[in-house]
A and B are shown apart, each in its own frame.
Chain A
């Protein structure tokens, strides 16, 4: 399959992720949408690496996966702490400080 197809899928994934972050109110779902954005970037890296005939794009994906894993660990910890204190993970209810 030609490369633009893969990039199109990656673009769609990224857009789904962005829209999800903007419209969903559950912290965990927002977080999953962010992961979707990162994976869209991974797909773009792999497709580009294939198209360019270079390996380094595929190596980048490993870096990104590592970083994403670290982010998951920290992010879930933050969400759990919030839930313990407030018993909600709805981002609209987390608004103690005024704008």
Chain B
């Protein structure tokens, strides 16, 4: 069999986005090894960006791919006529997530520039590895989004996590970065153990790791193949998989790593993992729960467990966020809380699937996707503003060995609206969106998942969600109040901003001052794109939801 025949027989073309991204990662890695430092710094981001762009373009012809006869699927072993036995599927659901990951990647690349040019001790940070790892991590996320087999989910999650472990510790001489990497690694690997053991038990109980096969046996135990374990193993498997995915999605009580890792990791990396890794975990949750376990008795217990986790996640995240003084840490707890709101949508999808309301399930799942998109935009935007402020202020001193120097505190924002009106305005938009106040995407995100919950009669959950939203207003408004209403403190920690600040007319940030103090234009572009998108998603909420409905999961576990 020639390579070409092999490629045709196995539908390799549907892997185009992943392949392009992996090859670009390799190219970046090789260029990083051979080119001089300065050249790398100048053109590697563009090479990486080009790869992202080509990968995004290669997705376009794949849209609606699985309406075609071959179904846009890959098999483990020989081809089969039954698409349900595919381990890898390129449906609109996965393509939506691939767009999301590529966008996250593009934003992360554009805000990483300054972090990479900073000197770490006596030498520069390595550049090639950084972009290559970001891209390989995104490939892992894409694998998770397309997986229809528990083992492929496992491999995808490991691909994305292992790259992220390294990225979290990328500022090698900084102690907090080391600490973030160690914590992320140990707890992430611990979670992997649970996930894998859950998969093994599910395999024993159902005779397969295919989600479609798990679904069949979970719904009807008598269909289990000979030699399969009892149903108890399926329950345990479900619980362990839930623990494993819960760690990755930072659900309470598996969230302990989140604040430290988000705070200690370099800020661009934090943005990438806060959005990408969480979205990937939710892609897996949406595929595994409503679909594979949705119709089984195990799901009744699973549903209750997820319900408790949703309540805990929202409440804990919001309440602890109140007392945070570090902005990154506050955003970490806010990210935990948002995972809770997202779980409401997952639960609504789950109960709609169970009660056979296909259209409602479709809309509930589309609501989750809308929320994820909004979450991605507002978090990437907020972290981009933090990067911008860090860059503006970090010029006074080299990145040091303790966390205080680059970690933005609430007090650092005092009077920012006068010094940096545009950055303050952008941060305000993102914080309002995170709080769920119109006219921002965050408002409709909450509306859609809450509405889906109401349709499914999850009233208690709805009330908890609403109360939590109110709690969250408090801590999201603190930075806004500091920026607009507080006078400047006696000794603003980020005094560099004043130098980096605006020209006398108060508008031109990019101008000479911006470049001179190391704020790169790409960061501003990223912030602008996110801010405009957050507002546009509010204005175009109807068409957006209709479009996302095409990508939402159908009861068959395939996104159309």
Question: Which positions in A face B, CB cutoff 8 Å?
Answer: 3, 7, 10, 14, 17-18, 21, 27, 30-31, 34, 37-38, 40-42, 44-45, 47-48, 51-54, 56-57, 60, 63-64, 67, 70-71, 74-75, 77-79, 81-82, 85-86, 91, 94-97, 99
Contact A31 B186, beta carbon cutoff 8 Å: yes
Interface status of B197 (Cβ within 8 A of chain A) = yes
Contact A60 B209, beta carbon cutoff 8 Å: yes
Min C-beta distance of B230 to chain A, whole Å: 10
Q: What are 20 A-B contacts with C-beta separation under 8 Å?
A: A34-B189, A37-B197, A40-B193, A41-B197, A41-B200, A42-B200, A51-B204, A52-B225, A63-B151, A64-B154, A75-B165, A78-B182, A82-B179, A85-B173, A85-B401, A94-B178, A94-B182, A96-B176, A97-B259, A97-B264
Interface on chain B toward A: helix, strand, loop, or mixed SS? helix
Kindly name the residue among A18, A53, A56, A86 whose own CB sees the greatest number of chain B CB atoms within 10 A: A56
Q: How far, in whole Å, are A3 and B194 apart by their CA atoms in the complex?
A: 21
Other-chain residue from B76, B158, B201 in contact with A71 (beta carbon distance below 8 A)? B158
Contact B185 A78, beta carbon cutoff 8 Å: yes
List, in ascending order, chain A residues with CB within 8 A of B259's CB. Answer: 97, 99
Min C-beta distance of B383 to chain A, whole Å: 17
Q: How far, in whole Å, are A73 and B166 apart by their CA atoms in the complex?
A: 11
Please give me the residue from chain A that is nearest to B228 by CB atom: A52
Given A34-B186, A71-B189; 4 other pairs, CB 8 A cutoff: A30-B186, A67-B162, A82-B182, A96-B176
Other-chain residue from A31, A37, A51, A81 in contact with B229 (beta carbon distance below 8 A)? A51
Question: Which positions in B face A, CB cutoff 8 Å?
Answer: 76, 151, 154-155, 158, 162, 165-166, 169, 172-173, 175-176, 178-179, 181-183, 185-186, 189-190, 192-194, 196-197, 199-201, 203-204, 207, 209, 225-229, 259-260, 263-264, 329, 401-403
Other-chain residue from B155, B182, B203 in contact with A48 (beta carbon distance below 8 A)? B203
Contact B178 A38, beta carbon cutoff 8 Å: no
Contact A70 B193, beta carbon cutoff 8 Å: no
Other-chain residue from A41, A54, A63 in contact with B207 (beta carbon distance below 8 A)? A54
Kindly name the residue among A17, A37, A41, A56 whose own CB sees the greatest number of chain B CB atoms within 10 A: A41
Contact B190 A21, beta carbon cutoff 8 Å: yes
Q: How far, in whole Å, are A72 and B190 apart by their CA atoms in the complex?
A: 13
Q: How far, in whole Å, are A91 and B189 apart by their CA atoms in the complex?
A: 15
Contact A37 B190, beta carbon cutoff 8 Å: yes
Q: How far, in whole Å, are A81 and B190 apart by their CA atoms in the complex?
A: 20
Other-chain residue from A42, A63, A71, A96 in contact with B155 (beta carbon distance below 8 A)? A63
Contact B169 A81, beta carbon cutoff 8 Å: yes
Min C-beta distance of A86 to chain B, whole Å: 6
List, in ascending order, chain A residues with CB within 8 A of B226's CB. Answer: 52-53
List, in ascending order, chain A residues with CB within 8 A of B229's CB. Answer: 3, 7, 48, 51
Contact A74 B155, beta carbon cutoff 8 Å: no
Contact B185 A74, beta carbon cutoff 8 Å: yes
Q: How far, in whole Å, are A34 and B192 apart by their CA atoms in the complex?
A: 9
Kindly name the residue among A81, A82, A97 whose own CB sees the greatest number of chain B CB atoms within 10 A: A97
Kindly name the residue among B172, B181, B182, B403 whose own CB sees the greatest number of chain A CB atoms within 10 A: B182
List, in ascending order, chain B residues with CB within 8 A of A51's CB. Answer: 204, 227-229
Please give me the residue from chain B that is nearest to A17 by CB atom: B193
Please give me the residue from chain A that is nearest to B198 by CB atom: A41
Contact B403 A97, beta carbon cutoff 8 Å: yes
Q: How far, in whole Å, are A55 and B346 apart by their CA atoms in the complex?
A: 34
Please give me the residue from chain A that is nearest to B224 by CB atom: A52
Contact B176 A97, beta carbon cutoff 8 Å: yes
Contact B263 A7, beta carbon cutoff 8 Å: no
Q: How far, in whole Å, are A94 and B260 apart by their CA atoms in the complex?
A: 11
Min C-beta distance of A85 to chain B, whole Å: 6
Q: How far, in whole Å, are A41 and B382 apart by their CA atoms in the complex?
A: 40
Known contacts being A71-B162, A85-B175, A96-B402, is A34 close to B228, with CB within 8 Å?
Answer: no
Q: How far, in whole Å, are A91 and B155 apart by their CA atoms in the complex?
A: 28
Q: How far, in whole Å, are A67 and B158 apart by their CA atoms in the complex?
A: 7
Q: Closest 3 CB pairs between A and B?
A: A37-B193, A48-B204, A44-B200
Q: How far, in whole Å, are A37 and B162 apart by their CA atoms in the complex?
A: 17
Please give me the residue from chain B that is nearest to A83 by CB atom: B178
Contact B227 A53, beta carbon cutoff 8 Å: yes
Known contacts being A31-B186, A74-B165, A78-B181, is A41 close to B196, with CB within 8 Å?
Answer: yes
Please give me the residue from chain A that is nearest to B179 by CB atom: A94
Contact A52 B178, beta carbon cutoff 8 Å: no
Q: How far, in whole Å, are A65 and B169 apart by their CA atoms in the complex?
A: 24
Min C-beta distance of B192 to chain A, whole Å: 7
Contact B196 A38, beta carbon cutoff 8 Å: yes
Contact A34 B179, beta carbon cutoff 8 Å: no
List, in ascending order, chain A residues with CB within 8 A of B169's CB. Answer: 78, 81
List, in ascending order, chain A residues with CB within 8 A of B227's CB. Answer: 3, 51-53
Known contacts being A75-B185, A78-B181, A97-B176, is A64 close to B165, with CB within 8 Å?
Answer: no
Please give me the residue from chain B that is nearest to A86 by CB atom: B175
Contact B158 A70, beta carbon cutoff 8 Å: yes
Q: How far, in whole Å, are A41 and B201 apart by their CA atoms in the complex?
A: 8
Contact B182 A64, beta carbon cutoff 8 Å: no
List, in ascending order, chain A residues with CB within 8 A of B182's CB. Answer: 27, 78-79, 82, 91, 94
Min C-beta distance of B229 to chain A, whole Å: 7
Min C-beta distance of B149 to chain A, whole Å: 10
Please give me the residue from chain B that is nearest to A42 by CB atom: B200
Please give me the residue from chain A that is nearest to B237 by CB atom: A44
